[in-house]
Structure 1
Amino acid sequence: MAPLGMWPPVNSATQMLKPTLDIDARLAEIERSVDLLLNLTPVNGAEAWADFERSDFRAVPTLRLRPLGFEPDLLRRDLYNLELENVTDPALHMLLRAKREEIARQITALEDRDTSRFVYASLQLYGGVSPSLTSAAQDLLGAIPALSPPASSVTAGAFADAARAEMNRYREVYPEFPVHVDVRADVSELMVSFGRLLIPESVTLRADRVEPLLQHEVGTHVVTYQNGARQPLTLLTIGLPGYDETQEGLAVLAEYLTGGLDPRRLRVLAARVVAVGMMLDGAGFLDIFHALQQRHRIPARTAWIIAIRVVVAGGSVKDAIYLRGVSRLLEAFAAGVSLDALLVGKLALDHLPLIQDLLDRGVLRAPWIRPRWLDAPGAQERLDRLRAGTTVMDLYEGEAPA
């Protein structure tokens, strides 16, 4: 594999795979129209929090989701009209078929929003919570003391300025690197949607979280999107099947490698797993919120955010993938998995053999962009420790409570 930053031309293997690439491009187009992330984000997050706060944290909030901008049956027809039988490469055929099924599940999930069926669609997309993951989350919450949040904070506008500055740093090295940052009233959380960083207009962030969040959102999610956009396989921009777990795990490890995975952040990741488990056991919003706040000493605003993300649309398990993704990456690094191939685009650990094969055959290019977090002070030493074998508990660098 060529070093990071090298971008060799694609050879004739790409032309041989033209039927594959045509279907790949159409699958990407369909998933963009589905836009699962945005369509599961409440449009009234700020008002719902204000109402909840005024109720002295006693009234279950009402969350509004945006209307779907597509006709589900028509998209399904488009999906199943794709002639996958023309894809002769067995590995790519399996990959494209899995992606088609994943998009079909996304469509069903969005149709089932705000019904009891949604949680089952979410489980199909993201998987459940294993006893070992729950145990790791409980251990983190028990070992890491609850700390009061620092007083210093930044607004949406200040974070947007910092994000543009970060993107411009990439632009200095990669002149074609685009700068897409939007501050919006209709999103309730930070997200990267198809390469664009979306920032809630009402968001207030801890000042010490700005740099880690830049490495998470820009240095990982935007960078892997842009690396994927330079590949002939368009799905590497929107994500191969099941990519979310590995992508979020990688983004959290970017925070760790830059020294930004502080105790408060680790407690949030653990609390998300606990909240998902409670929801799956039948707990409602208020039960989850008060358990996080009282039993696990999560600040009210943070407990609100965690609980909302878990109960949205009828029950989402997505937030368990952050801690699970980190755990699986730690196992992979200890087993000798290279970081380079994970930066080709948005992919899952399970896809690495296929990605490496496509790199070796010249179908895919080496990553266009090298994330800046790889060159942060202390990053290499931290990465070496990960490769020597660590667990999520080892990511906590403080002292256990007495």
Structure 2
Amino acid sequence: MKIDDSVTTKTLLEIDKNIDALVKQIELLSYVNPTNIEEEKARFFASKYLTDPIFKYPNINFDKFKLHRKLFTQPIERIEDEDVRNLYEDVIYTYSGLIQCIENIGNGKDFYFNSLHCFGTPTENDVENAKFILHFEDENRELEQFQPKYSAKDSEIFFKEFSKKYNFNYHIEYSDKISAIAMVLNNVKTLVLNTNHTYSENEIAVLTNHEIGVHMVTTMNGLLHPLKIFSHGLPNNEETQEGLAVFSEYMSNNLTVTRLKELAYRVIAVDSLAKGYPFSRTFRLLHNQYDLDRESAFYITIRAHRGGGFTKDYLYLSGLKKVYDYYHSGKDLSLLLTGKVSIEYAEHIKFLIKKGYAVPAKHITDSYAENKNANKKVDFILRSLK
């Protein structure tokens, strides 16, 4: 459906264009990952897990105050439709919050409170769900598929082969300064692989479905709309996006109990952060009380404590449960693949597509075509989560 050329439409597109130009500069994950992870890991281990790491972060290369000012001078009162106007008000507050997060990276409580505002913190149910998952036994880690085999460079061929099923191109880069083993940078259409990690066959299967099958798919779909907020993200999109990504692991029969436990440990780490525990105490909670190996415990602790307290990690598990229930209630997953969107705005998305301000998803996550999950224990766990 084509959009009309009325004054109302021109006003909306102009505001959207202005916001697009401003938020292109904001990629939180580009700033929140420490640049000295390996050095501080060695120092932390040498201290017998007692001396908290002192992390360094990339320099910010944009004018924070100018971005805030330009966001809040957008004339959204000229958007006639109330729901769309409210959506853009939410968008502006969301991106202002992300700017505040970025400008306070490394500033302890200041960053933590901004992170709390943007992403929230685990509820009692979230923590109970995590503890429930941790009661289950891991898969046999001696199996061939779980053995580390491939360097980041070796892994590139698997990502390229997997991506042939999608009609888009993206960049692959390498880094030794990220806490994840792989991540997609939305603004620059780039997959980043961690050169400090050696990948197993299972991890590659998980990451191709997760990073390319969802994160890159929604990146590319988001660029196709007349309205660019689909590209940069609707408010609260992180929970839905990570839920969709982990759900693709489930649908492709690559979601394991071990992986679910990893997501559960992340919830425990963020809950520890919310209780005011320092890095060292969160690490010892995971390593000593929950018997997680020290390498895994360290990187999960980093993910929660980076920047001064990054609460986003608990959303993977809650997002997975929401998407799992959404799918099993018979709702259309393709609606959630239209860009960096959230379940809460599903009706807004339908309205914007109907009006021609947005388009249906062009690229569809391959694993969503058929439920190939054969892991009954994983199904039992997901059904049982509150």
Q: Which secondary structure does the structure 2 equivalent of 1:197 belong to? A: strand
Question: What letter corresponds to residue 252 of structure 1 in structure 2?
Answer: V
Which residue of 1 is the match for residue 235 of structure 2?
A: 241
Question: What letter corresponds to residue 168 of structure 1 in structure 2?
Answer: K
Asked if 1:51 is matched to 2:43, the reply is: yes
Are the counterparts in 2 of residues 43 and 66 from structure 1 also a CA contact under 8 Å?
A: yes
Give the Cα–Cα distance (whole angstroms) in 1 for the partners of residues 199 and 324 of structure 2: 28
Asked if 1:23 is matched to 2:15, the reply is: yes
Give the Cα–Cα distance (whole angstroms) in 1 for the partners of residues 170 and 245 of structure 2: 19
TM-score by length of 1: 0.87
Asked if 1:183 is matched to 2:179, the reply is: no
Give the Cα–Cα distance (whole angstroms) in 2 for the partners of residues 23 and 205 of structure 1: 44
Correspondence for 1:111 among 99, 103, 115: 103
Which runs of structure 2 are paired with 1:2-21 in the superposition (5 Å)? Answer: 10-13=1-4, 17-21=9-13
Give the Cα–Cα distance (whole angstroms) in 2 for the partners of residues 331 and 228 of structure 1: 24
Q: Deviations over 1:111-148 (max 9, x none)?
A: 22222122111111011211111111000001234865
How far off its partner does 1:361 sit?
2.9
Which residue of 1 is the match for residue 89 of structure 2?
A: 97
Correspondence for 2:281 among 280, 287, 290: 287
Give the Cα–Cα distance (whole angstroms) in 1 for the partners of residues 45 and 200 of structure 2: 20
Question: What letter corresponds to residue 141 of structure 1 in structure 2?
Answer: L
Which residue of 1 is the match for residue 193 of structure 2?
A: 199
Are the counterparts in 1 of residues 246 and 316 from structure 2 also a CA contact under 8 Å?
A: yes
How far off its partner does 1:308 sit?
0.5
Which runs of structure 2 are paired with 1:104-253 in the superposition (5 Å)? Answer: 104-113=96-105, 114-145=107-138, 148=141, 150-170=146-166, 174=167, 177-189=168-180, 190-194=182-186, 195-253=189-247
Tell me: CA distance 1:153–1:236, structure 2 relative to 1, closer, same or farther (3 Å): same
Which residue of 2 is the match for residue 34 of structure 1?
A: 26
Q: Which secondary structure does the structure 2 equivalent of 1:198 belong to? A: strand
Are the counterparts in 1 of residues 148 and 198 from structure 2 also a CA contact under 8 Å?
A: no
Are the counterparts in 1 of residues 248 and 365 from structure 2 also a CA contact under 8 Å?
A: no
How far off its partner does 1:296 sit?
1.7
Which residue of 2 is the match for residue 85 of structure 1?
A: 77
Q: Deviations over 1:240-265 (max 9, x none)?
A: 11100000000000001111111211
Give the Cα–Cα distance (whole angstroms) in 2 for the partners of residues 273 and 192 of structure 1: 22
How far off its partner does 1:391 sit?
7.0
Give the Cα–Cα distance (whole angstroms) in 2 for the partners of residues 240 and 135 of structure 1: 28
Which runs of structure 2 are paired with 1:360-379 in the superposition (5 Å)? Answer: 360-375=354-369, 379=370
Are the counterparts in 1 of residues 251 and 367 from structure 2 also a CA contact under 8 Å?
A: yes
How far off its partner does 1:204 sit?
2.4
How far off its partner does 1:55 sit?
4.1
Are the counterparts in 1 of residues 252 and 371 from structure 2 also a CA contact under 8 Å?
A: no
Give the Cα–Cα distance (whole angstroms) in 2 for the partners of residues 13 and 83 of structure 1: 20
Give the Cα–Cα distance (whole angstroms) in 1 for the partners of residues 272 and 281 of structure 2: 9
Q: Deviations over 1:334-355 (max 9, x none)?
A: 4442212111111010110011
Question: What letter corresponds to residue 183 of structure 1 in structure 2?
Answer: Y
Which residue of 2 is the match for residue 349 of structure 1?
A: 343
Give the Cα–Cα distance (whole angstroms) in 2 for the partners of residues 206 and 302 of structure 1: 15
- Percent of aligned pairs with the same residue? 25
Give the Cα–Cα distance (whole angstroms) in 2 for the partners of residues 196 and 395 of structure 1: 36
Are the counterparts in 2 of residues 144 and 267 from structure 1 also a CA contact under 8 Å?
A: no
Question: What letter corresponds to residue 30 of structure 1 in structure 2?
Answer: L
Question: What letter corresponds to residue 32 of structure 2 in structure 1?
Answer: L
Alignment root-mean-square deviation, CA: 2.3
How many equivalent residue pairs?
374
Are the counterparts in 1 of residues 31 and 60 from structure 2 also a CA contact under 8 Å?
A: yes
Give the Cα–Cα distance (whole angstroms) in 2 for the partners of residues 187 and 334 of structure 1: 35
Which residue of 2 is the match for residue 5 of structure 1?
A: none
Which residue of 1 is the match for residue 54 of structure 2?
A: 62
In structure 2, stretches of 5+ residues that fail to align are none
How far off its partner does 1:381 sit?
5.6
Give the Cα–Cα distance (whole angstroms) in 2 for the partners of residues 341 and 391 of structure 1: 26
Give the Cα–Cα distance (whole angstroms) in 2 for the partners of residues 266 and 70 of structure 1: 37
How far off its partner does 1:382 sit?
4.7
Tell me: CA distance 1:77–1:18, structure 2 relative to 1, closer, same or farther (3 Å): same
TM-score by length of 2: 0.90
Give the Cα–Cα distance (whole angstroms) in 1 for the partners of residues 197 and 372 of structure 2: 34
Correspondence for 2:291 among 266, 286, 297: 297
Give the Cα–Cα distance (whole angstroms) in 2 for the partners of residues 32 and 301 of structure 1: 34
How far off its partner does 1:279 sit?
1.1
In structure 1, stretches of 5+ residues that fail to align are 1-9, 397-402
Give the Cα–Cα distance (whole angstroms) in 1 for the partners of residues 179 and 292 of structure 2: 19
Give the Cα–Cα distance (whole angstroms) in 1 for the partners of residues 223 and 380 of structure 2: 33
Are the counterparts in 2 of residues 14 and 363 from structure 1 also a CA contact under 8 Å?
A: no
Give the Cα–Cα distance (whole angstroms) in 2 for the partners of residues 125 and 391 of structure 1: 31
